[in-house]
Structure 1
């Protein structure tokens, strides 16, 4: 969100128990008859992408999080503007550097040939994200399907709903509690930071403010200052890895934050807050347990405020609503 992605799987966690408020309306076998080859097709297309772009898994995970955080998991983040008066979510500065929207559209076009009008863009986002986790060495996660696509997208909602860069621990807990997550799951889902990069523009204050928020190891801070040498980055696309294994889904993130090597303020905060520090330590020493809790949290997040039968639509093209 490296030079390569691992093809091995470090652990297998199959989640088949419903979680979340809206998940009861979804089903693990939703496409059993209407599009039986759906997951095989998505897996095949995702594999070809991962083999050519080691950063893709992090991008798909971030895409799902940003979609689900605003209005729920409804593919609203994929909608382009239909006119100058209605600005979609991607206009929000909080969606800076969101990638792979067009890839979801490409997979949708393949599925339209296989199963016309059956598979929602929202379900494709969820499937792409779960494949990203497993391909990168994380757990295999089964998610229920049957989401419908929204017909609206608003940058104001994105501005209001997406967490700020300097989110506090209590705000993080509240945000994920609203998705039905318990405390452990809230700290597990942020473990998605184990993949990808952070942009210098989002960490400059930690590096150069006289009284920055959050403890940071002095050696790590010196390293980051070499990568981000000015308080105002010369480019918005200057970035640094989230942890030392940015293309591998593992528990290295938690080990790093315990050593004062958390990239963002929230990373440092969860390692010292008395409510969350014991969980961070547990995940740092027990990767399988982290995978188990992350899988549960992932299912809940991907089932947040979904539109199901009678609400929303199955878009023909992910970037625009259907024309009736």
Structure 2
């Protein structure tokens, strides 16, 4: 889908088709995730009362040593919840009998932070052996990661179990990718029971973290100049992007998705989209796509109202964290090591 903020408004046919498309998916998503999971805020109050403090201290050390670790843990949580629900499946290593998710195209060379998770788990096993699931631990760590770089606080419902399975195929198909168009992106969020508002708010996580050249090369050598305002500063920015991401090679070279404040969780990401300078195609689509009727207004809202963004991001993170596979509460476990199922 070509991007252009100067494009004509969508035709009535496109509007009608998009409405039907979203309506069908919304009904399906509601049916898929209609039952709230049995999660509570005081789940570990008697069995591991220090769990929140332990996770927070470990995350403080991790973010202090490298602010990028905040984005890494947050991304791990996203990639976990979009495959089989928030069940810790993304943390599993490959074994002879299990094909994990780490080497799926959307994850390989993209996910970081596994050693941080290992460290937190070791602390928890010393304090409360066999009590706190890796899925819960990752959910708490993602919340703390956001707080530690200036983002909002939210209460984390707990009580998830760790899956004894993983899904390479779902990791390949369910996760949004940087090159996808708006309709595809929305459909992937609706499939998880997340609304268009949730999608735009959760995309704000890109206010921290880095992107690999391979994920934005097509954008900067394609329609970047069409969506961005033509001014000297934008030309300099684009030139710098191209110098670090050549047309061929340098796939693993990285750059910040929010060049204004890459290590601070704020709303500047949306302000960058208003200028048409979004690094990833999937992000800029929310503002510049011909079908960006609802998403464009949300981008503008969060760009001008950081409080609204923080509130919606918190609500949407809780909602995403509540995506669970009901079977995991029956067949799941509390792993002793987040990389392997218990023997």
Pairing partner for 2:50 from 34, 37, 51:
37
2:217 is aligned with 1:204: yes
Structure-1 residue corresponding to 2:315: 296
Residue-by-residue CA offset, 1:228-264 (whole Å, 9 max, x unaligned): 1x21233x32011111211100000000010111001
- What number of residue pairs does the alignment pair up? 300
Distance in 2 (CA, whole Å) between partners of 1:155 and 1:214 is 36
- Higher alpha-carbon deviation: 186-195 or 149-158: 149-158
Q: Does residue 227 of the first structure (1) align with residue 239 of the second (2)?
A: no
Equivalent of 1:248 in 264, 275, 278: 264
The answer to whether the Cα contact below 8 Å between 1:23 and 1:144 also exists between their aligned partners in 2 is no
Once the two structures are superposed, residues 167-203 of structure 1 have per-residue CA deviations (whole angstroms, 9 ceiling, x without a partner) of 2212222222233333222210111010111111111
The match for 2:152 among 129, 133, 139 is 139
- Kept in 2, the 8 Å contact 1:214–1:269? The answer is no
Bigger mean CA offset, 297-306 vs 30-39: 297-306
Instruction: Pick closer, same or farther for the CA change 1:142–1:214 going to 2, 3 Å.
Output: farther
Cα distance in 1 between the residues matched to 2:192 and 2:329 = 21
Q: Report the Cα distance in structure 2 between the residues aligned to 1:212 and 1:259, rounded to whole angstroms.
A: 11
Question: Cα 1:312–1:135, aligned 2, differ >3 Å: closer, same or farther?
Answer: same
Q: TM-score with structure 2 length normalisation? A: 0.83
Task: Work out whether residues 224 and 276 of structure 2, in 8 Å CA contact, stay in contact via their aligned partners in 1.
Answer: no
Which residue number in structure 2 is paired with residue 90 of structure 1? Answer: 102
3-state SS in 1 of match to 2:278: coil
Counterpart Cα distance in 2 of 1:22 and 1:226: 49
Larger radius of gyration: 2
Q: Which residue of 2 aligns with 1:15?
A: none
| 2:255 match: secondary structure | strand
Contact 2:135 2:162 (C-alpha < 8 Å) held by counterparts: yes
- For the Cα contact (< 8 Å) 1:22–1:306, is it kept in 2? no
The structure with the greater share of residues assigned to helix is 2
Query: Which of 53, 66, 81 does residue 53 from structure 1 map onto?
Result: 66
Does residue 239 in structure 1 map to residue 251 in structure 2?
Answer: no
Aligned to 1:317: 337
Structure 1 residue ranges, 4+ long, deviating more than 3 angstroms after superposition: 20-24, 211-214, 306-309
Summarize the Cα distance change of 1:98–1:114 in structure 2 as closer, same or farther, 3 Å threshold. Answer: same
User: Secondary structure, in 3 states, of the residue corresponding to 2:330?
Assistant: coil
Unaligned runs of 5+ in 2: 1-32
> Could you tell me which of 174, 196, 205 is aligned with 2:187?
174
**What's the counterpart of residue 306 of structure 2?**
287
The equivalent of 1:9 in structure 2 is none
Contact 2:207 2:268 in 1 (8 A): yes
- The superposition leaves residues 42-91 of structure 1 with CA deviations (integer Å, 9 ceiling, x where unpaired) of 111111111111111000111101111111111111111221x6421111
Paired residues of 1:74 and 1:122 also in contact (CA < 8 A): yes
Distance in 2 between the 1:26 and 1:116 partners?
Answer: 20
CA distance in 2, matches of 1:282, 1:165: 23
Cα 1:291/1:212, change in 2 over 3 Å: closer
TM-score by length of 1: 0.88
Local SS of the residue matching 1:125 = helix
Task: Please give the alpha-carbon distance, in whole angstroms, between the structure 1 residues aligned to 2:187 and 2:40.
Answer: 27
Q: Which residue of 1 is the match for residue 286 of structure 2? A: 270
